[in-house]
Chains A and B, each alone.
Chain A
Amino acid sequence: MSDIRALIIDDSSVMRKIVERSLRQAGVNLTQVLEAGNGAEALGVLQDSKVDLILCDINMPVMDGLEFVKQLAGVENGKGVPVVMITTEGSETHVVQALSAGARGYIRKPFTPDQVKEHVIPVLAGKP
């Protein structure tokens, strides 16, 4: 997998580290990892930085993941960047909401590195 700059959004710093480790275990060559603790912070990060992949929790304080995905298209550096949701919210409604808002993939917590690979690699390869 070619060089990837990733933005990981989760209010838990431990989960951000686990997601980063899982991406590396999945064979994603991360050249830069940016982090944010909620959607609003992530939109701020994207004002100054370009990324190739975003992994985003849903339940977060200040701005949740669904609202972040909705607002992402309005940020220059966010246009066209694939978003994969990683969340405990596993209901069909949440999945539909996330995909309708523009997310390209959905991973339920708890997850294994193999599940991250299964969902992220096709997204990076441009497959639906």
Chain B
Amino acid sequence: MKSAKELLSTSKDHGEWIPLLEVSAKEVFELMLGTKLDTAEDITPNGLDIAAMVGLAGQLCGILTIRASKESASRMAFKMLGAETDKNSQEVYDAFGEICNMVAGNFKNKVSGLGDGCMLSVPTVITGNDYSVRSLAGSPPLELQLLFESLPMLISLEVS
């Protein structure tokens, strides 16, 4: 496993991190939701009306974002809690934010040497489609296209 320092210095686009990000997400969904994620292609942000964001600061600065539909987020909350929740309830937002937090934490723990030098923010959850995010990231985001119970989901990591 390469250290964070090696990865940060040898690559500007950080493409090597995509497999780590994918494993991190799949582990969270398998362990906490009992669901396997499938990889997908050609997913567009259309209809993905809920987003959770966790900031990373320190040796690695950036934002990890998960986007899905409220229907997906509601199903995720159901899987986590074992009980139905209204798709606009606080519990759905809480569960979705916590999933993002765990994916971010799991990812940074998989990059050797990064755990100590990188802090996570508490999650932020945004609903709706009519917004833009302008980050100061120095490179294009790493993006993962996944299916949760056949529903589309996007995970992106923007590194400053």
Q: Which residues of A contact B (CB under 8 A)?
A: 11-15, 17-18, 21, 59-61, 87-94, 108-112
Contact = CB atoms under 8 A, between A and B. Distances in A.
A61 to B, nearest CB: 6
Interface in B65-102: 77, 80-82, 90-91, 94-95, 97-98, 101-102
Contacts, number: 66
Interface string B104-122: 1110010000011000101
Interface of B: 27-28, 31-32, 77, 80-82, 90-91, 94-95, 97-98, 101-102, 104-106, 109, 115-116, 120, 122
Given A18-B32, A111-B31, A92 B116 contact: yes
A15 B81 CA distance: 9
Contact of B106 (A18, A60, A110): A110
B115 A89 contact: yes
Contacts of A11: 122
A12 B81 contact: no
Classify the interface of chain A: helix, strand, loop or mixed: loop
B91 A13 contact: yes
A91 B4 CA distance: 13
A14 B115 contact: no
Given A12-B97, A13-B91, A14-B77, A88 B106 contact: yes
B115 A91 contact: yes
A17 B81 contact: yes
Nearest to A11: B122
Contacts of B95: 12, 14
A78 to B, nearest CB: 25
A111 to B, nearest CB: 7
B116 A61 contact: no
Contacts of B31: 110-112
B109 A90 contact: yes
B120 A88 contact: yes
Given A88-B109, A89-B105, A110-B28, 4 more contacts: A12-B97, A13-B94, A14-B94, A14-B98
B105 A109 contact: yes
